[in-house]
Each structure stands twice: as structure tokens, then as C-alpha cells.
A and B are shown apart, each in its own frame.
Chain A
Amino acid sequence: MPEKFDHEMGLLNEDIWNMGVLSQKMLLLAVESLKNRDKDLADKVLGMKEELYDYDQHIEEHTLKVLILYQPVAKEMRNLACILKMITYLTRIGRYGYDISKVTLELADQPLVKKLIDIPNMAKIVAGMLDDVLKAWETEDLSLIEDFTERDDVLDEERYSIFRECLTYVMEDPKTITRCMHYVMVARYLERCGDHCCKIAEKVVYKVEGKHVEIS
């Protein structure tokens, strides 16, 4: 039984990893499309949504199948519980990439209010968190997610900084309102992605140590 179970888990783990990579890719490409006002790239991200949803559905079904057929316990059960939550958070992160791409399409014909620096920086932090939390999940090395609270705090500060900066642009020139509103929304999306990474990290701690913790 363990061999068959291990085989199933191997497939599931691979799918989760690929789903994580896809979510991260959607987010990073979406921010790049916004930064470069690249409609083609934004369209490409929009096209990834179906694959993301397929992963979500397929992994959920596969996880339930493994739970039903093998009735795992201990760390094996904790890993499956972790996976069931992870796919929701990964779907939301990828979905924010989709939403940012929609913003790109809306703003692509207008000039940037200024060169985007903070938003790509936030995306970089989120991508790093996602990388580390997936590695922590795979390797069970919790030191990779030890500083998530601090990283999440940085994202919160960056979001607020973007908000204040946008306020100054709006006050100076009301024509920037639409663009600035979108920037504020994108910053909010990225901050939420950081929160989702923290939630995944909580589940990884549960998988590895069997403890329920709150991060951030």
C-alpha cells in the first residue's frame, strides 16, 4: 500500500508544484505587462486562467480520492489537508494575476503616471515568498518561511506608500484619477497575495510540525 500511496502522492506533489509555478508566472507576467503596457502579454496571462482552474479542480479531486482510498494519518494526512488549502490560495494568487492583466488592458493606451517601481517591487517580494513557501512545503525546511511576518509587513508598507503617492498625483492632476485608482487596487491585490503566502506558510507549518499557528 505505501508504494501505491507514494506514487499517488508523487503525482499530487508534482501538480501542486506546477500549479504554484503557474500562479507565480501569472502574477509576475501580469505586473510586467502593466509596467510595459504590453497588451499581448496581458492577453497571454488571461489565457492561463483555464489551466489554473483545471489544476485547482484536478488536485482537489485527486486529493479527495487519496483521502477516501487510503485514509492516511499523521503527516500524510496533514500534507493532504495542507494541499487542499494551498490550492485555494494558489488559485487566488493566480487570479490576482488575471485581474492585474485586465487592468493592463484598460490602461495600456494611456501613459503611465510615472515609471512603475514599487508595484514591480511588491510583485518581486510576493514571488519570493511564493518560491520559499513552496520550497518549504516540499523540503520541510521551515527556516525558509521564518521571516514571513517581516516580509508581509514590508508589503503592507509598500501598499500604503503607493496609496499616499497616488493621492499626491490625484491632487495635482485629476486626470490621473483612473490610473491611480487602478494602481492602488493593484497594490492591494499584491498585498493580498502576500497574505495568501502567509496562509500557505501556516499550512506548511501544520504539515511539518502538526501545529496550528498564525503568521502575520
Chain B
Amino acid sequence: MVFGFLSSGNNKKGKERKKLHDSSGNNGKRSSNDIILKDINIFYSGKQAIKDVDMTIPEKKVTAFIGPSGCGKSTLLRNINRMNDEIVGCTYDGEILWQGTDILEKKVDPVALRRRIGMVFQKPNPFPKTIFDNIAYGPKLLGIRNKKKLKEIVEKSLRDAALWNEVKDRLNDSAMGLSGGQQQRLCIARALAVEPDVILMDEPCSALDPIATAKIEDLINELKKEYTVVIVTHNMQQASRISDFTGFMYLGELIEFGKTRQIFENPKEDLTERYITGRFG
């Protein structure tokens, strides 16, 4: 602190202004549905990509990872649902505690985990099937055969992904005929169909135009009422618009993590400030 009158309660010299309300909505309470990352290290063929990351991703909030290319955002994101298990040469250590379990333990079934922690990728990747089948695919794999039940799931998922009104009359058309933005919302609907608790998004809007992007952003804002959302984005305005919490990563390290407003208004770390103001490198 540079000078005395900033200290609260010192009426003679001035005081910090009382906040009328805290718009973050997180009152510092911990939940077992928070995702707690402890000492996460990730290596590609022995080369360290993520170094000692500790953070708590709060439940039913949007958390964004930002940072320059190659800083490890996507690598870290993929570890949250063990997608890194599929990458040859990728190893990791540390703990990710969620709902009372370390989800990195070998005994945890990654496939079952991915049903609970879904993922949406940078490029929309619908299956070359009908819109209906795209959504019903996951539930069918889970053994749901009842057509009425499947229809209900498809409708709910498409409604939750704000796509129902646009496709309800052409559910049997190929998903490949949808626009890029619609395809991405279809992928989100597909992820929602298996009733996950968490949705990971790896640059979900980077291939979309501003209108489709706005729809996805609105959707993310709606999704956080029911789901925990973690998003990787290169677009800092997007991170500031949609996320409640932001983590800035650089060279595999989590440099700063905090409420999004704090990160963009008054970052604690000089590196964060330089990155978000474009004065990097």
C-alpha cells in the first residue's frame, strides 16, 4: 500500500468506499461440486507443459482460461475430463478433486467421467447423421432405447442449447447442413444430452462469426444456471463478457486467477496486465 489513507476505517485520512453489492455471486463458499486442482503437472513425452497448477473452479460459474498460444490452457482443460489420457506420451500428476473423488486416479473410469464432464471443441464436429441422431447418440450408448424418452432428451437438449426453435421442423435432416453456429450449438446440445455436470469448452467460438458467437455467449450465460462451465478462449473480450472467474496462464503456469472483473480492472500481476493490455513479448 502506497499511503495510509487507503487503509479502511481510518476516518481521519479517508477510507475505502463501501461496496453496495457483490455482483460475482460467489460468496467464498466451497462446494464439493467445485473442481479443485492441486499441484497439477502435465508432460508431453517428458517435456513439462503444465507446472504446479493449483486452482478451484467454482460450481455453476463460468471460468475462463486465457493466455498466449502454447501456454497450456487447452492441455489443462483436457485434463479435467482425462482427455489427455488419449494422447500418446502425455503423463500427469497431481490431484483434481471433484465430488469427493480424485478424478485423476486410475480407478476412475475416464469414459464415465466424460459423461459427467462433457466437452465442446474449437471446430463444430457433428456426426454425419441426422440432427436427431446426433443428440440421441450419447443417450443410446448409455442404453436408453425408449423412443419417447429419446425424443424428450433430444428436445430438452436442443432447447437448453437454444437451437430447438431453429431445427424442430427438420430433426431428420443431416446435421451437416446446419450453419457453423448452429453446428456448434448442436455439439453443445449433444454434450448436454448425457446430462453432464460440467461442460468444458475449448475455444468454442473461434470458428464462428459475431452473430453466432453472441448466441453461444448467451447460451453459456444460461448454461451456468445448471452447469459448471470452463472455457478456453483467445478472445479476451469474450472472457470478460461471459466469465465469472478468469485464470491467466503463461508458459504452463497459472500466473493469476481471480474474479473476472478484478483480472480485467486491476490485475495483481504485472505479467497479466501486460498480456491483457497487449504489451506482451
Contact = CB atoms under 8 A, between A and B. Distances in A.
Given A73-B276, A149-B13, A213 B265 contact: no
Contacts of B111: none
A205 B14 CA distance: 12
Interface residues of B, number: 24
A73 B16 CA distance: 22
B45 interface: no
Contacts of A209: 2, 6, 266
A74 B6 contact: no
A214 B14 contact: yes
Interface in A192-216: 205, 208-216
Given A210-B266, A211-B16, A73 B240 contact: yes
Given A74-B273, A143-B3, A213 B16 contact: yes
B17 interface: yes
B5 interface: yes
Nearest to B8: A213
Nearest to B240: A73
A44 to B, nearest CB: 37
Interface string B1-45: 011111000001111110000000000000000000000000000
A43 interface: no
Interface in A54-111: 71-78
Contact of A74 (B12, B15, B16, B277): B277
Interface string B134-149: 0000000000000000
A213 B17 contact: yes
B242 to A, nearest CB: 15
B5 A74 contact: no
A129 to B, nearest CB: 14
Contacts of A149: 5, 12-14
Interface in B240-281: 240, 264-267, 272-273, 276-279
B265 A210 contact: yes
A190 B252 CA distance: 56
B236 A73 contact: yes
A72 B267 CA distance: 13
Contacts of B4: 146
Given A73-B236, A74-B276, A213 B266 contact: no
B165 interface: no
A211 B6 CA distance: 8
Nearest to A205: B6
A46 B4 CA distance: 40
B154 to A, nearest CB: 39
B26 to A, nearest CB: 20
B255 to A, nearest CB: 14
A157 B43 CA distance: 68
A142 B3 contact: yes
Given A209-B2, A212-B16, A213-B15, A71 B277 contact: no
A73 B265 contact: yes
A1 interface: yes
A2 interface: yes
Best-surrounded residue of B4, B240, B276, B277 (most CB of chain A within 10 A): B277
A143 B2 contact: yes
B31 to A, nearest CB: 29
Interface in B144-169: none
Interface string A157-198: 000000000000000000000000000000000000000000
A213 B276 CA distance: 25
Interface of A: 1-2, 5, 71-78, 142-143, 146, 149, 205, 208-216
Interface of B: 2-6, 12-17, 236-237, 240, 264-267, 272-273, 276-279
Given A78-B265, A209-B6, A211-B266, 10 more contacts: A2-B278, A72-B277, A74-B265, A74-B267, A75-B273, A143-B2, A149-B5, A209-B266, A211-B6, A214-B15
10 contacts: A73-B277, A74-B272, A77-B265, A142-B3, A143-B2, A143-B3, A149-B14, A211-B6, A211-B16, A213-B5
